[in-house]
A and B are shown apart, each in its own frame.
Chain A
Amino acid sequence: NAGVMQNPRHLVRRRGQEARLRCSPMKGHSHVYWYRQLPEEGLKFMVYLQKENIIDESGMPKERFSAEFPKEGPSILRIQQVVRGDSAAYFCASSPGIGQGARNYGYTFGSGTRLTVV
């Protein structure tokens, strides 16, 4: 059981470039959550996805950020035209089912992608 896999571990982008962060959930998990951890702050919820569906994107910035979880392949968090304020650690978590799954088992977190915008 490989757990939640995130890549890359570290990502450096120049201002204006695009950043793509990938997350492969645990085997058997069909729900993915993205969180952002800014320096000196706790984790903030961004988006909750099922396969091919966005369930809750209330934490996503309105512009430049998007997320998907296709039928095949990992979940992708995309940040277009990055700015210095996007520098943060981005964590992905997965759970085995809608609502109750997370409550019953807890989330399993990946090791995160640390994005640095220069």
Chain B
Amino acid sequence: AQSVTQLDSQVPVFEEAPVELRCNYSSSVSVYLFWYVQYPNQGLQLLLKYLSGSTLVESINGFEAEFNKSQTSFHLRKPSVHISDTAEYFCAAAGGTSYGKLTFGQGTILTVHP
């Protein structure tokens, strides 16, 4: 069965500092990877996704993630965070025989301090 592990439950950072949210997955077949962001009391918004092709994917608000097959990782990075980036971030995977079902990590709460 597929599993997704987010290594940090909480990440506090100061504004304008760089950040990395770590995600590892386990799968023996092709996998599709996603990062979602959830603001308090809201639903999930797709941040970025890896389906195939270039291993570096970017979002419109400055986040990027790199698919690393050898390390089975899909870490999320941003070189300079803003207060408005404070939210919970979920890594998710779909693939293999699980059709469209997404398997989520436990989530990482990113808190940006002024």
Contacts and interface: CB of A to CB of B under 8 A. Distances in A.
Contacts, number: 70
A102 B101 CA distance: 8
A91 interface: yes
Given A106-B34, A109-B44, A42 B102 contact: no
Given A33-B100, A33-B102, A102 B43 contact: no
A33 B101 contact: yes
Interface string A85-115: 0000001010100110111101111111010
A79 B105 CA distance: 25
A48 interface: yes
Nearest to A97: B100
Contacts of A44: 104
B104 A42 contact: yes
A45 B32 contact: no
A43 interface: yes
Contacts of A91: 43-44
A12 interface: no
A87 to B, nearest CB: 15
Interface string B31-65: 01010100001111110010100000000000000
8 contacts: A42-B104, A45-B101, A91-B43, A93-B102, A98-B99, A102-B100, A103-B95, A112-B43
Interface of A: 4, 6, 31, 33, 35, 41-45, 48, 55-56, 91, 93, 95, 98-99, 101-104, 106-112, 114
